[in-house]
Structure 1
Amino acid sequence: MSASAPLIAACGAPSLAIATYRCLLASGLTIGWMLLTSRRVRVPAGIPAAMGPGLALAAHFGAWIPSLRLTSVALSTAMISTQPVWSALLARFTGVRPAKAVWWGIAVSVVGVLVLTGFGGSVSGSSWIGMGLALLGALLAAVYVAFGERLRKATDLASYTTVVYGVAGLALLVVSALGSVALGGYVWRDWLLILAITLVAQIGGHSAMNAVVHRTSATVVSTAILFEAPGATILAAIFLGQSVGLSLVLGLVVMLIGLVIVVRGTSPRMPESGV
């Protein structure tokens, strides 16, 4: 999963096109797998119930993927990793009172963000916009999880991902068409990267984590997902030549400690990764 952000950053296709294709291809590949295994797409609650999580997922990708054009992989993945914080805050509005540890974790995470940005001194104007988009992406990811939680329990994983990814992909396709986003004419390298993003991030990330959470603790899986950020930072430094300063490393460590506290302080639920 750590390869997702570096792959997106390396791809020359428009951000919305990447988001569109990763959802549509993932949905299509899942349908193909279900046909080969003689499975049927079952969504007991109906297609309308998939609109909420599908549109939230589309908005999540529409915010987060463009952030990688404006800021570094390290800062973008650090911001998208704050999803557990947003999930905890959203839960508060549904009558679930977060434990005191959650608030402590949020406070530690904020300190980490201040450190990794050099208290604002090491971040440029466009980078702030990118970080803001990634934060919005984290919030929308939390909304996606909240919307999809009930539907996910009512059907099997393959049916859920097929329909929700399909809704997200079609929504992004409409937005791309309205915005005159180029959906073709890329070099072969970009098409290969889009395919890699689909297989590694969408199917190997989103779908796989939803499957694994049923075999282990959601807290364990959620904590493991948090380490996507340092992994992505290392890969971006090696393959994309992005610099990694001391304040960024220290801030990332502090922020991750805070997020681990948040995850362990919340009730078991699946805060799916923003990748």
Structure 2
Amino acid sequence: MTALLAAIAILGVSVSGPLMAGTSAPAFAIAFWRNAGASVLIAPVALARSRTELAGLGRRHWMTTVLAGFALAGHFAAWVTALKLTSVAAATALVCGQIVWVVLYDRLRGAQLAPLVVAGLVLAVAGVLVVTGVDFTLSRRALAGDALAVLGGVFAAVYLVTGQSVRTRLSTSVYTFLCYGICALVLAVLCVATGTQLTGFSARTWLLIAAVTVSAQMLGHSLLNHLLAVMSPTVISLLLLLEPPGAALLAGVFLGQSPAWGVYVGLVLILAGLAVVTSRRPPPAPVQAD
């Protein structure tokens, strides 16, 4: 079941880059509506069980939840903007660099990485570069987008690491409701501060925003939050390296865009690296799974 949920989550996030890049709404508006919409969809389930769970949530866990929400807002603000400035391939590859920051955090905590784990990480990152063809242009606009994608990866790493600690006390529905809600509030303030348009879009734009909310937010991020109960942030970050080849393969199926040979080579490298790392890392301590 865990493998199935992970596969659905990766399929969900794989469509997010192309969908958001093709949406004519401003980047901050897309980020706001996908989080606000997901929070509203989760609310009925979360509110039914929130009183008991929230009553037992200490000050430290509240602060961590708020930090996770702010980090998620930073991730979306940076990455969705990057998608508007640079290629989808480059933005997706660079945001997947979150694995580097998660591993660095583990090292700062004193965790020891076996040589095979390091080799697996290098294999997986190399696979992402092969998939994208190292598609990084040198225009000023593209470089700004690349830098924002890297920043988005940093925020994503903070979001995953902090989220795992909160998941020891909160169910998936309550945690995602709080995190998406906090994220939406932060993004709403950002939209107001920057004068970003939030309404008046075409029907097609609203449809694309709804699609990315259901696929990437509900079936992608929410399932990844659930998997934090049984997987470490490092393994989830490695799974997210499957997003670039996943997006390319989906484009081949639904858009008739035949993937380049590098997609298949990169996919093999990523899967090999993932297999090495997951086989060598000890499982995380069990936490509340639902």
Q: Which TM bucket (shorter chain)?
A: 0.7 to 0.9
Matched with 1:45 is 58
Change (3 A) 1:133 1:27: same
**2:137 corresponds to:** 123
| 1:188 Cα offset (Å) | 1.3
Q: CA RMSD in A?
A: 3.2
Q: Distance in 2 between matches of 1:55 and 1:138?
A: 14
Is structure 2 residue 161 aligned with structure 1 residue 151? no
- After superposition, the C-alpha distances for 1:123-177 in whole angstroms (9 at most, x for unaligned) are 3424443333223222211111111222111111111111111111111111111
- Please list, as runs of the form range in 1=range in 2, the aligned pairs for 1:59-98 lying within 5 A after superposition: 59-98=74-113
1:82-231 matches, within 5 Å, as 82-109=97-124, 111-112=126-127, 115=130, 123-125=137-139, 126-212=141-227, 214=229, 224-231=239-246
Counterpart contact for 1:77–1:232, Cα < 8 Å: no
What residue number does 2:250 align with? Answer: 235
**Secondary structure, counterpart of 2:19 in structure 1:** helix
For 2:41, the aligned partner's letter is L
1:26 is the counterpart of 2:20: no
Q: Tell me the residue number matched to 1:14.
A: 26
Q: 1:48 offset after TM fit, Å?
A: 3.4
Distance 1:40 1:7, change over 3 A: same
Distance 1:83 1:258 in 2: 15
Structure 1 residues 115, 232: closer, same or farther in 2, change over 3 A?
closer
What is the CA deviation profile of residues 79-137 of structure 1, one whole-angstrom value per residue up to 9, with x for unaligned ones?
A: 333333321111111121222223223433554466556567x6342444333322322
Which residue identity lines up with residue 164 of structure 1 in the other structure? C
Q: What CA distance in whole angstroms lies between the structure 2 residues aligned with 1:87 and 1:30?
A: 28
Amino acid of the structure 1 residue aligned with 2:20: I
AA paired with 1:39? R
Mapped to 1, the partners of 2:147 and 2:270 lie a distance apart of 16
Letter in 2 for 1:45: G
1:182: how far off?
1.0
Q: Which runs of 5+ in 2 are unaligned?
A: 1-11, 286-290
Structure holding more helix per residue: 2
Output one character per residue of 1:67-88: Cα deviation in whole Å (capped at 9) or x when no partner.
Answer: 2112333332223333333211
Cα offset, 1:220, TM superposition: 7.8
Counterpart contact for 1:83–1:142, Cα < 8 Å: yes
C-alpha contact (below 8 Å) 1:84/1:263 kept by paired residues: no
